[in-house]
Amino acid sequence: MTWSRGLWIAALLAPAVLIVSLFVLVPLASAFVFSFYSWNGLARGAWSGLANFNTVLFVEPFASWTRNAFTHNVTVFIAVMIAQNGTAFLIAWLLLKALPGHRIHQVAIFLPVILSSIIIGAMWKLFLNPIFGLVNQSLIALGLGEWAQPWLGQSSTALGALVLVNTWHWLGFPALVFLAGMQRISSDVIEAARLDGATDGQLLRRVIWPLVAPATTVVVVLTFIGSFNWFEMPYVMTGLDGSPAGATDVLGLYFYRTAFGNVTSGLQDFGLGSALAVLMFLFIGIVAGFGALYLRSREVRE
């Protein structure tokens, strides 16, 4: 009886397992293998052990490029956590209060999420154009001409501009996750807190924040993975080089450039590219894994 049941389950799982192995596991494994070889042009050369890893981590200028890109990923993660997820939490709270017009706002906030990053990137690149762009034109129209900046062309503003565009794009998603989490809180709990005289601030901090912990787990883990795999937005808006001068370079761009080459400046090196991919995979996997474990334990505790 159990034997035939097992067979059934296996048969039903087989197509999914097949697809996952073909399109996820095999490429992962091959990247892993590639990273241990030296590459002669585009053909695989001799086994080179950890040489590729050594190059991307410790040999200049690759090491400082890796460091630079990694630092930007960390910055992006922190900035997105604050700018995007912080705002999303407050918006979810406002939506929960069901103020007049909250349904329209709920839709409006979620709307950009369904657009492709490529479209949003291209659109905002136009908005941020230093000469024709909507942003600078508006600033000039408001008499704030000296605030007009070449946003994407300065190392001081480029990454920040990208983070803000990313926030504009994705804000609706964490907002919706938080809102769902808040709606799951039993109204008894909130009413009890209100009867005890809790203000909005106390209610948010002491009741709602601990009780939406499962939603927070989801949002933090997804933000982490998203920040470290960030690619489309900088690719569309500042290019494969992470212009200007690597100020918007992130690991995704750096990996792509290394493995597949940047036609206007560089060459392809599958070995170094694969080494980077393996390092990224390990880092994201390990940190996201431990992070999720910690956040889960926090859910129970609070």
Partner 1 sequence: MVKITRRAALAGLAGTVAMPAYLRDASAQAQTELSFWTWRQEDRTQYATLFGEFTQANPSIKIAFQGFEPQNYGSALSTALAAGRGPDVIHIRAYGGTEQFAKAGYLTPLTRANVPEIGNLPAAALGSVSMRSDKQVYAVPFASQTLGLFVNREIFTRLNLKVPETWAELMATCNTIKQTGGGIFPIANGMATAWMVEVFTSIFTSSWHGREFVADMLAGKATFEDPRYVEALGKLLELREHMPTGFAGVDYATAQQLFMSGRAAMFAGGSFEIANFRRQNPKLAMEFHAPPSRTAGAPRLVSLFYDGGYAVNSKSEKAAAALQLVRHMATPAFGTRFSALLGNVSPINGVTITDPMLARVTELNTSASDYIMAVHFRFQEPTGSNLLQGGIQRLMSGQATPAQLAAEITKGIATYHEPFRRG
Nearest approach, Cβ of residue 238 and partner 1 (Å)? 8
- Kindly tell me which of 60 and 196 has the beta carbon lying closer to partner 1: 60
- Kindly tell me which of 247 and 278 has the beta carbon lying closer to partner 1: 247
Task: Write down the residue that tokens 């787990």 correspond to.
Answer: 217
Nearest approach, Cβ of residue 131 and partner 1 (Å)? 6
Nearest approach, Cβ of residue 270 and partner 1 (Å)? 8
- Kindly tell me which of 55 and 166 has the beta carbon lying closer to partner 1: 55
- Kindly tell me which of 179 and 240 has the beta carbon lying closer to partner 1: 240
Q: Which whole-number Å values give the CA distances from 193 to 152, 161, 203, in the listed order?
A: 47, 40, 7
Nearest approach, Cβ of residue 223 and partner 1 (Å)? 28
- Kindly tell me which of 172 and 246 has the beta carbon lying closer to partner 1: 246
CA gap 147, 178 in Å, rounded: 35
Nearest approach, Cβ of residue 90 and partner 1 (Å)? 31
What are the residues whose beta carbons fall under 8 Å from the beta carbon of 56, sequence distance 6 or more? Answer: 62, 63, 66, 258, 272, 275, 276, 279
Nearest approach, Cβ of residue 8 and partner 1 (Å)? 37
- Kindly tell me which of 154 and 229 has the beta carbon lying closer to partner 1: 154
CA gap 275, 271 in Å, rounded: 6
- Kindly tell me which of 75 and 243 has the beta carbon lying closer to partner 1: 243
Question: Site residues (CB under 8 A) for partner 1?
Answer: 40-43, 60-62, 125, 128-132, 136, 148-155, 238-241, 243-246, 258-269, 272
Tell me whether the omega of the peptide bond preceding residue 244 falls within 30 degrees of 0, making it cis: yes
CA gap 144, 136 in Å, rounded: 9
Nearest approach, Cβ of residue 274 and partner 1 (Å)? 13
C-beta separation of 11 from 3 below 8 A:
no
Task: Write down the residue that tokens 């950009």 correspond to.
Answer: 112
C-beta separation of 236 from 26 below 8 A:
no
Q: Which residues pair with 37 in a beta bridge?
A: 47
CA proximity to 274, closest of 3, 14, 50, 89: 50
CA proximity to 265, closest of 248, 245, 279: 245
Q: For residue 101, which phi and psi values (nearest 5 degrees)?
A: 80, 10
Nearest approach, Cβ of residue 245 and partner 1 (Å)? 4
C-beta separation of 35 from 271 below 8 A:
yes
- Kindly tell me which of 29 and 245 has the beta carbon lying closer to partner 1: 245
